[in-house]
Structure 1
Amino acid sequence: MGGAGEQRHPGDRPFRPAARRRIGAPRGRGTWHRGRSRGLRSDRAAAGEGQAVKRVAAALAILAVAGAARAEVRRFALVVGDSYGGAGTRPLRYAERDARRIHGILTRLGGVREEDARLLTNADAREVLRGLDELSARSRAARDRGDETLLVVYYSGHAKDGDLRLRDSRLPLSDLRAALQDAPADVRIGFFDSCQSGVITRSKGARPAPAFDVTRAKESGPRGLVLIASSAADEESQESDEIAASFFTHYLASGLLGDANASGDGKVTLAEAYAYAYGRTVGSTAETRAGAQHPVYLYDLGGAGDVILTELNPARGGLVFGAADEGVYVVLDGTRKAVAEVAKARGGSRQLSLAPGNYLVKKRIENALLVGEVKIATDLVEIADARLTRRKLEDDPQKGASGPRWSLLGTGGYQIFFDSAARNGLFPPAALAGVELSSRDDLGHQLAWGVDFAVGGGASTLRLPEVDSIPVRFGELSGGASLFRDFDLTDSLTASAGARLAFLYLSRTFPGRSDLPGQNFFTFTPGLTLGLSWRFTARFSAVARGRVNYLLYNIDKNQSLGYAEFSAGVDYAFGL
């Protein structure tokens, strides 16, 4: 425990630099680790989660005791997601999606008006501070009118050396904490999902404040500052491909949607949300390669009662999980990305408040899955195991839920045949311009596939024995499909190797020789491909590539020929 009124969990550990990363399965192209979360936790993970819940029980008891009636509060939210932390960091895949989820929950269930919310992605430090200033001004105006006010700041992205890493800019965590401390709102809450974000919960430099006094008069509502970080500073904050999110934000979002509503009153409080996110994060990361991740907090909140973060309104629609069933249920949206989880015991029902749309619910049982599709409008839909369909594990609809990563590569290149007779005769060197569309993360094992097309041509002179030189103009169209594997060399450098099957169409004309008709040639050509990619921004990479191909030429005689293609270009990634 820090100074008066400030509490940190767990255990006031010293804070050390760490880097948020993704964990688990073999890494994908160039910049990402891939992770796996488990639908049902093992006994060891479940035990870890049970211990985690016990470790926050004291804080939960203190925060939830008063339960004072909630006054109407004007609420403001600054939500920031940034996948690219600049030099020395690897792009994150889900930071921006995490931010959009939290923004959607706060504006739909958290009482934040659209005009009082700011969602910033790919923003720099100045834009973040400007957004905070705008909301502070709105909060000050609301307070001047006599309103109670609450300000929530959420960040998902990189932090390093005590700074939030926002693109190529830096925002010191100490400056952000000071800005939150001084913000003109009755309650200020900060959620920081990044490594080293635990630094912001240090008590050094905090303004001394009275401890949370549950006997204080009920007319005095909560006042003060709460800071919550996704991991202790000697741990890594982790994200997972299977849930398409960071662990902490995924469970924070699941809790806010209703699974943290332990009291069953239809309201998720700050205490409930933190205890739930802490326990589920610890339990789900206990067996990951990076190890268990423990969220931490600083609590400097006076007054009586807890802070209600979301209210579950049945009229808005959602899911109800009946009392007779138990287990871990994962809810997927139409793109098969996880939007929430429910972990429930037998004997109590649980409600999730979800936006209208089509969803898929799955639950793992021993060596099989229970799966069901639901459509949510404005009513609650009951989920019961008896109504779900049994499937094999290999038919898991969530596999590849993060979806393929598409990229488009534009190249300029050069083609040359190895055989000197072919090179100086029918197949002279050619200049090529091409494009390739590639997909990653939908085959697994760091495998990727792509389709490419190229056009080119040139002019040369055909020299044959005892025949005058013949001018030749030729054009070429080629296309192919490749299957290749990526190999990470450094944070930004990736090598690739694979196989390609292509077609080759050539046309030749002989200017000035009306006695020689034009010629056309079409064939299929297998080959091997090697590549080297250097990522210089979040979405752009410089690519150098070489290919070796085999060609059977059988027009006037059978010839086995080989040729090489060398190209360089720029690749643009559509998704991170």
Structure 2
Amino acid sequence: MKHLLFTLLTVLAACASPSSLDKGSKGGLVSVKVDEGALSNAYAPRRLALLVGVSQFQDEQWRDLRYSSKDAEDLAAALRDPKRGHFDHVRVLSRPEQTTRASILAALRELRREATRPDDVVVVYFSAHGTLARDGKGELKRYLVTTDAEYRAIPQTALPMDELKSEFDQFPSRRRLMVLATCHSGSGKSLLPRELEAELAGIKAGFYARPIEESSRTSMVFAACDWGETAREDEGLKNDIYTHFLIDGLNGAADRNFDGAVTATEAHDHARRHTYAFTEGRQRPSAEILEVGADPVVLSGHINRTGRPELFSYNPRLDGFTLKVDGETRTELPGGAAVPPGKRTVELTKGSDVLVREVVDIAEGERLPLERLLSETFPRRSLTLMGGMFSFVDARSRNELLPASPELAVVLRLEERPLPDLSLVFDLSGGRGQQSLHLAPGTSVPFTYTSLSLGAAVPYTWKWERFSLYAGPRVAALFLQRSFQTEAFTGAQQYFTFSPGVMGGVAWRLSERLELSAQTQLMVTYVVVDGQGQAVGFSGGWAGVGYRF
């Protein structure tokens, strides 16, 4: 609106200028004085928040919540406070008519129309019941229980978390945070239909996918508890437990690097640690953050000095590991810790196992993602010497072209290229020896052969601890030469073709540098034998020892 008003004033000033009315004049530029402070404020990033507390429900099957509305109001007070959140606009939805499914979606879309700049800070918060139900396709989905949600018609009346997340991802802002002070465990701030609760009781924990989808770039989604756990209200705190400690962090207690500001990740880590301790480990808040970098979401205070160095990780691969610095335990991941600048011995441990032990030199204000230590500690390239077999798939080709034959191969694998979950695999294989063709029963035609293949593949890679599994498309060039010295024929035949196909492989790291690996491939090619063309399939399988570098 400010942009539009400024533009209109400029245009009106130009149109009303006397110089533009002079006889014979075609118009001209008009100097307009604009206050620099006002102009700066007009273009400054805004800080906007939408806080929703659903305490009352039309369907009596949903138990009313005591503190959800208060959670939203208390957090709003912290965000509005000029000395803490200093947000420009904070809207709270807590009355029954404001917390219906339609009203919440309308408020989200209105906020999206207001937060139009990439550097706007946007916070969306929900304190409510959560539940699970199967949608029209029979898939188990998560739902936010709104005021008008019906217990017997959850998919039709409650707010699907998928839809909520979709709305959130459409915000233009690159600095956005969504906080879910709810759960889907069947207790606490959650209620499940009885038939679904009975179904879940027969399924092992961990069967379901994690409840929060992958976050879009530079967005964060915080949850008051982990999947299958209970989010609790506390009568002594008179708040949702996680929300209480989140607000406590905004008072300055969460500023771990002492730069004067509390960022979203600092506030969450503070609330996570205190919630875990307060509930004696029964509630573990979680976070999904695809890319943090220098955390751009400042929730409280102002960055007025260079902060202490920080070590952090929100990567699920490191969940449950302990961060130690100079032999001292600092935090359990996910999370982060501030450390004194200089050379520090950093360890990632789980029980008695040490995943990483590195000496790093970290400067004031630096934020070091612990995944970087992993990439530096464990080389992402391997060169493997393999031995195996080459064979045509059908019996006719084995009898008339080349029987199954041994070969040697060299394989170069580049992990996390060109994307994190992909690899580049290049292989060179070949063999030479003597074989015999069996063109008719009881006949044998000896010959010598030379085979050579050069292949390239881009497989998708799955990793578990020291084990890697990869599979994907492959193309290869195949050269085959046969030399005959018989009474009927003396000479050589050559074949050269390009072939598409698929490949798969496994790798097991024995140590930091050595690994065992195996690879197989299935290809399709076209060859001409005795003047007749035919499509044939050929395969190969190798195993060997590789060196990582």
Per the normalisation by structure 1, the TM-score is: 0.35
Higher relative contact order (CA 8 A, sep 6+): 1
